[in-house]
Amino acid sequence: MDLNEIRSTIDRIDSKILKLLNDRMEQSLLAKKFKSSIEDLEREKAIMEKLKNSSNLLLESEFKEDIYSLIISWSKKLQARDYKVIGFQGEHGAYSEDAARHWDKELLAVQCTTFNEVFERVDSNLFDFGIVPVENTLGGIVGPVNELLINTEAFIVGAIDMPVCHNLLALPGTDHREIKEVYSHTQALSQCRSFLARNKLTPVPFYDTAGAARMLTEAKPRGAACIAGRLAAELYGLEILKDNIQDFSNNRTRFLVLANEKSECKGIKCSVTFSVLHKPGTLFNVLRVFADAGINLTRMESIPTEPGNYSFLIDFEGYDKDPVVEEVLNRATEITTNFKLLGCYIEKII
């Protein structure tokens, strides 16, 4: 081991420390939802007592108390700013977080491990909003999200349709000729298959595009790069060796924004979910109600709920307070089961 190796190890540890500090601040913002006031002297006292009793050979009590006094002070400052929180699935730098920034850059994005976690935290009011991908032009529908939409208590309050631009990222100063392996989510790897084959690069599946970028920064594997978005490159200090490496230019993902209450704005698109009796012509009768009213359907998906039974998701153009739309919704409710208006909202096209 030499000085450069030691410094490289220190850099990796520093990166982890900053990530953990950011995670802690996110949790402190969520904790505010359950507190009557920002100040909690008993909690602060308990933290300091725990630090005094902890055994750390190189960390004296005074040092630990100074560090945590700063951490607690900053946590309270963040809580006082009264951020609105939007949850997304994946690591920071994910395309979902990028979509959240496009929808409202003032929101604080908090990461979740699963889509189910996003829905649960919106349903329970822990998050003000959630954002989830619902379909991709190349990969098709995001099955788990569509299944969760059928059963959620949350409402759709917005949508973002944006291009997904994959980039080849590497540590600064990396010689592209030394790269042999490329890490990323399986879907991103498949969408860049021709680029990888053309450059004789071995795809290595990873759980998340942004997670691959974070791993590259922390682990610094030799001869490796990753595929992720520009936001991930910015957050993890990576260099973009080649941008827009996806095989097809028309690679777009549509994201839905969720909230616990309906949108107050005048929407331009509505989403509904329902089931029909398992008889010939029942679905056709529902679709005819929309067609007879001249309402344009923009999306329809069938989601299996149990053997032989399906629920349906439909998006259509219109405003739910329009008399024509109101009549259609009333008529559709009469000839379906479990009918629910998921929301009327504005959709942004990026």
Cβ 227 vs Cβ 188: under 8 Å: yes
Q: Which residues of 243-255 are buried (b: 16+ CB within 10 A; e: fewer)?
A: eebbeeeebebbb
Which residues make Cβ contacts (< 8 Å) with residue 17, sequence separation at least 6?
A: none
According to DSSP, the β-strands at 309-317 and 297-306 are: antiparallel
- What is the Cα–Cα distance from 39 to 303, expressed in whole angstroms? 47
Q: Report d(CA 90, CA 41) in Å as an integer.
A: 34
Q: What is the pLDDT of residues 225-264, one digit of tens each?
A: 999 999 999 989 899 999 999 998 888 999 999 999 998 8
Mark whether 206 is an active-site residue: no
In this structure, what token pair is assigned to residue 162?
Answer: 């944006």
pLDDT in tens, 10-60: 887 887 888 889 889 988 888 888 887 888 888 888 888 888 778 777 888
Q: Full-prediction pTM beyond 0.95?
A: no
Domains, the chain: 3-80 (1.20.59.10), 85-163+253-349 (3.40.190.10), 167-242 (3.40.190.10)
Average pLDDT, integer, range 198-212: 94
113 in catalytic set = no
Query: What one-character DSSP code corresponds to residue 307?
Result: T
Candidates 127, 255, 274, 316; catalytic one: 255
Question: Residue 81, SS3?
Answer: coil
Nearest to 236 by CA among 204, 209, 258: 209
Q: With a cut of 80, say whether residue 1 has pLDDT above it.
A: no
Strand-pair category, 309-317 with 269-275: antiparallel
Catalytic residue among 209, 253, 273, 336: 253
- pLDDT tens-place string over residues 54-87: 877 788 888 888 889 999 999 989 888 888 999 9
Alpha helices of the chain — where are they, by DSSP H? 3-31, 41-53, 61-80, 95-103, 115-123, 143-151, 186-191, 193-198, 209-219, 230-236, 282-292, 323-334
